[in-house]
Amino acid sequence: MEAFVSLEGLVAPLDRNNVDTDAIVPKQFLKSIARTGFGAHLFDEMRFLDMGELGQDPDARRKNPAFSLNEPRYTGAQILLTRENFGCGSSREHAPWALHDYGFRALIAPSFADIFYDNCFKNSLLPIALDVAVVDELFDAVRCNVGYRLLIDLPAQTVQAPSGKTWIFDVDPSRKRSLLEGLDDIAITLSSIEKIRAYELTRRQQEPWLFARAS
Protein backbone atom coordinates (compact mmCIF):
# COMPACT_ATOMS: atom_id res chain seq x y z
CA MET A 1 0.00 0.00 0.00
CA GLU A 2 1.23 3.51 -0.82
CA ALA A 3 2.35 5.44 2.24
CA PHE A 4 1.04 8.91 3.09
CA VAL A 5 3.19 11.33 5.11
CA SER A 6 2.51 14.82 3.76
CA LEU A 7 0.86 16.36 0.73
CA GLU A 8 0.85 19.81 -0.82
CA GLY A 9 -1.92 19.57 -3.36
CA LEU A 10 -4.52 21.31 -5.48
CA VAL A 11 -8.05 21.30 -4.00
CA ALA A 12 -11.19 20.43 -5.99
CA PRO A 13 -14.68 21.12 -4.57
CA LEU A 14 -17.71 18.83 -4.58
CA ASP A 15 -20.38 20.94 -2.92
CA ARG A 16 -22.90 18.21 -2.06
CA ASN A 17 -24.12 16.55 1.13
CA ASN A 18 -24.70 12.80 1.47
CA VAL A 19 -22.72 11.69 -1.59
CA ASP A 20 -23.17 7.92 -1.45
CA THR A 21 -20.88 5.20 -2.75
CA ASP A 22 -23.14 4.55 -5.75
CA ALA A 23 -22.62 8.18 -6.78
CA ILE A 24 -18.86 7.79 -6.23
CA VAL A 25 -18.71 4.73 -8.50
CA PRO A 26 -22.03 3.44 -9.93
CA LYS A 27 -23.03 -0.21 -9.75
CA GLN A 28 -22.37 -1.07 -13.42
CA PHE A 29 -18.65 -0.66 -12.79
CA LEU A 30 -18.43 -3.23 -9.98
CA LYS A 31 -17.67 -6.13 -12.32
CA SER A 32 -13.96 -6.07 -11.54
CA ILE A 33 -12.14 -6.69 -8.26
CA ALA A 34 -8.89 -5.12 -9.47
CA ARG A 35 -8.07 -1.94 -7.58
CA THR A 36 -7.14 0.00 -10.71
CA GLY A 37 -9.12 1.34 -13.63
CA PHE A 38 -12.02 2.79 -11.64
CA GLY A 39 -10.78 6.39 -11.70
CA ALA A 40 -12.15 6.78 -15.22
CA HIS A 41 -15.63 6.23 -13.80
CA LEU A 42 -15.39 8.30 -10.61
CA PHE A 43 -18.64 10.29 -10.08
CA ASP A 44 -19.67 8.89 -13.47
CA GLU A 45 -23.30 10.03 -13.47
CA MET A 46 -22.26 13.55 -12.42
CA ARG A 47 -19.22 13.88 -14.71
CA PHE A 48 -20.83 12.60 -17.90
CA LEU A 49 -24.06 13.17 -19.83
CA ASP A 50 -24.17 9.66 -21.33
CA MET A 51 -24.41 6.23 -19.72
CA GLY A 52 -21.02 4.68 -19.06
CA GLU A 53 -19.78 1.10 -19.07
CA LEU A 54 -16.64 -0.46 -17.59
CA GLY A 55 -13.58 0.05 -19.76
CA GLN A 56 -14.86 3.02 -21.76
CA ASP A 57 -12.46 5.79 -22.68
CA PRO A 58 -13.62 8.86 -20.70
CA ASP A 59 -12.17 11.19 -23.35
CA ALA A 60 -14.63 9.77 -25.88
CA ARG A 61 -17.69 10.55 -23.74
CA ARG A 62 -19.85 13.66 -23.32
CA LYS A 63 -18.74 15.53 -20.21
CA ASN A 64 -21.09 17.56 -18.03
CA PRO A 65 -19.77 21.14 -18.21
CA ALA A 66 -21.60 22.05 -14.98
CA PHE A 67 -19.70 19.48 -12.88
CA SER A 68 -16.78 20.92 -10.93
CA LEU A 69 -14.21 18.22 -11.68
CA ASN A 70 -14.65 18.88 -15.41
CA GLU A 71 -13.42 22.45 -15.00
CA PRO A 72 -9.81 22.83 -16.25
CA ARG A 73 -8.83 24.73 -13.10
CA TYR A 74 -9.22 21.51 -11.06
CA THR A 75 -7.23 19.22 -13.35
CA GLY A 76 -4.70 17.24 -11.32
CA ALA A 77 -6.39 17.91 -7.96
CA GLN A 78 -5.24 15.60 -5.16
CA ILE A 79 -7.48 16.91 -2.38
CA LEU A 80 -11.27 16.66 -2.57
CA LEU A 81 -13.28 19.12 -0.52
CA THR A 82 -16.85 18.02 0.09
CA ARG A 83 -19.76 18.11 2.54
CA GLU A 84 -21.50 16.12 5.31
CA ASN A 85 -21.77 12.33 5.38
CA PHE A 86 -19.54 11.67 2.38
CA GLY A 87 -19.37 7.99 1.38
CA CYS A 88 -22.71 6.92 2.81
CA GLY A 89 -24.75 4.04 1.34
CA SER A 90 -23.31 0.61 0.57
CA SER A 91 -19.93 -0.49 1.89
CA ARG A 92 -18.35 -1.07 -1.54
CA GLU A 93 -14.57 -0.73 -1.40
CA HIS A 94 -14.62 0.26 -5.07
CA ALA A 95 -15.42 3.83 -3.91
CA PRO A 96 -12.00 4.54 -2.35
CA TRP A 97 -10.39 2.57 -5.18
CA ALA A 98 -11.95 4.98 -7.70
CA LEU A 99 -10.99 8.08 -5.73
CA HIS A 100 -7.38 6.94 -5.38
CA ASP A 101 -7.14 5.79 -8.99
CA TYR A 102 -8.42 9.19 -10.16
CA GLY A 103 -5.58 10.86 -8.27
CA PHE A 104 -7.03 11.94 -4.93
CA ARG A 105 -4.90 11.30 -1.85
CA ALA A 106 -6.91 13.21 0.76
CA LEU A 107 -10.56 14.08 1.41
CA ILE A 108 -11.84 16.93 3.58
CA ALA A 109 -15.43 17.04 4.85
CA PRO A 110 -17.34 17.71 8.07
CA SER A 111 -18.13 13.98 8.36
CA PHE A 112 -17.80 10.63 6.60
CA ALA A 113 -19.81 7.42 6.66
CA ASP A 114 -18.14 4.98 9.07
CA ILE A 115 -17.40 2.05 6.74
CA PHE A 116 -16.22 4.32 3.93
CA TYR A 117 -13.98 6.17 6.39
CA ASP A 118 -12.36 2.90 7.46
CA ASN A 119 -11.94 1.74 3.85
CA CYS A 120 -10.08 4.93 2.97
CA PHE A 121 -7.24 4.11 5.36
CA LYS A 122 -6.96 0.66 3.81
CA ASN A 123 -6.52 2.20 0.36
CA SER A 124 -3.96 5.00 0.83
CA LEU A 125 -6.56 7.76 1.25
CA LEU A 126 -6.57 10.19 4.17
CA PRO A 127 -10.11 11.32 5.15
CA ILE A 128 -9.98 14.50 7.27
CA ALA A 129 -13.00 15.67 9.26
CA LEU A 130 -13.05 19.42 9.99
CA ASP A 131 -15.74 21.64 11.50
CA VAL A 132 -18.54 22.80 9.20
CA ALA A 133 -17.42 26.42 9.59
CA VAL A 134 -13.88 25.52 8.48
CA VAL A 135 -15.20 23.59 5.48
CA ASP A 136 -17.37 26.59 4.54
CA GLU A 137 -14.29 28.81 4.74
CA LEU A 138 -12.32 26.45 2.52
CA PHE A 139 -15.10 26.30 -0.08
CA ASP A 140 -15.05 30.11 -0.27
CA ALA A 141 -11.27 30.11 -0.64
CA VAL A 142 -11.32 27.48 -3.41
CA ARG A 143 -13.98 29.37 -5.37
CA CYS A 144 -12.16 32.72 -5.08
CA ASN A 145 -8.62 31.51 -5.77
CA VAL A 146 -7.71 29.58 -8.91
CA GLY A 147 -5.06 26.99 -8.12
CA TYR A 148 -5.89 26.94 -4.40
CA ARG A 149 -3.68 24.44 -2.57
CA LEU A 150 -3.45 23.04 0.93
CA LEU A 151 -0.57 21.47 2.83
CA ILE A 152 -1.50 18.35 4.79
CA ASP A 153 0.93 17.00 7.38
CA LEU A 154 -0.14 13.63 8.75
CA PRO A 155 2.54 13.31 11.49
CA ALA A 156 1.51 16.73 12.86
CA GLN A 157 -2.17 16.13 11.99
CA THR A 158 -2.52 19.58 10.44
CA VAL A 159 -4.03 21.22 7.36
CA GLN A 160 -2.38 24.50 6.38
CA ALA A 161 -3.72 27.16 4.02
CA PRO A 162 -1.49 29.32 1.78
CA SER A 163 -2.00 32.16 4.29
CA GLY A 164 -0.38 30.03 6.98
CA LYS A 165 -3.64 29.45 8.82
CA THR A 166 -3.63 25.95 10.26
CA TRP A 167 -6.27 23.50 11.46
CA ILE A 168 -5.68 20.36 13.52
CA PHE A 169 -7.54 17.13 12.73
CA ASP A 170 -8.03 13.94 14.73
CA VAL A 171 -6.96 10.50 13.54
CA ASP A 172 -6.83 7.14 15.32
CA PRO A 173 -3.21 6.18 16.12
CA SER A 174 -3.47 2.75 14.48
CA ARG A 175 -4.95 4.19 11.29
CA LYS A 176 -2.32 6.92 11.29
CA ARG A 177 0.42 4.31 11.52
CA SER A 178 -1.05 2.27 8.67
CA LEU A 179 -0.92 5.28 6.35
CA LEU A 180 2.47 6.57 7.48
CA GLU A 181 4.07 3.17 6.96
CA GLY A 182 1.97 2.09 3.99
CA LEU A 183 0.60 -0.97 5.77
CA ASP A 184 -2.64 -2.72 4.85
CA ASP A 185 -4.30 -5.23 7.20
CA ILE A 186 -2.20 -8.15 5.94
CA ALA A 187 1.05 -6.19 6.26
CA ILE A 188 0.13 -5.16 9.82
CA THR A 189 -0.45 -8.80 10.72
CA LEU A 190 2.82 -9.89 9.11
CA SER A 191 4.72 -7.26 11.11
CA SER A 192 4.08 -9.54 14.12
CA ILE A 193 5.09 -12.73 12.33
CA GLU A 194 7.79 -13.67 14.85
CA LYS A 195 5.30 -13.42 17.74
CA ILE A 196 2.82 -15.52 15.75
CA ARG A 197 5.43 -18.19 15.09
CA ALA A 198 6.50 -18.20 18.74
CA TYR A 199 2.88 -18.63 19.82
CA GLU A 200 2.36 -21.54 17.41
CA LEU A 201 5.54 -23.23 18.66
CA THR A 202 4.41 -22.87 22.28
CA ARG A 203 1.01 -24.36 21.44
CA ARG A 204 2.65 -27.32 19.70
CA GLN A 205 4.80 -27.97 22.77
CA GLN A 206 2.03 -27.55 25.34
CA GLU A 207 -0.81 -29.20 23.41
CA PRO A 208 0.79 -31.55 20.84
CA TRP A 209 -2.41 -33.58 20.46
CA LEU A 210 -4.04 -30.63 18.68
CA PHE A 211 -1.47 -30.92 15.90
CA ALA A 212 -1.41 -34.70 15.59
CA ARG A 213 -2.50 -36.03 12.21
CA ALA A 214 -5.41 -38.46 12.12
CA SER A 215 -4.29 -41.96 11.13
What pLDDT, in 10s, does the model give residues 128-182? 999 999 999 999 999 999 999 999 999 999 999 999 999 999 999 999 999 999 9
The end-to-end CA distance of the chain, in Å, is 44
**pLDDT at site 214:** 56
Closest listed residue to residue 5, CA positions, set 152, 204, 171, 212: 152
Which stretches of the chain score pLDDT less than 50? none
**pLDDT at site 201:** 81
The domains of the chain, with CATH numbers, are 6-182 (3.20.19.10)
Paired residues of 49 in beta bridges = none
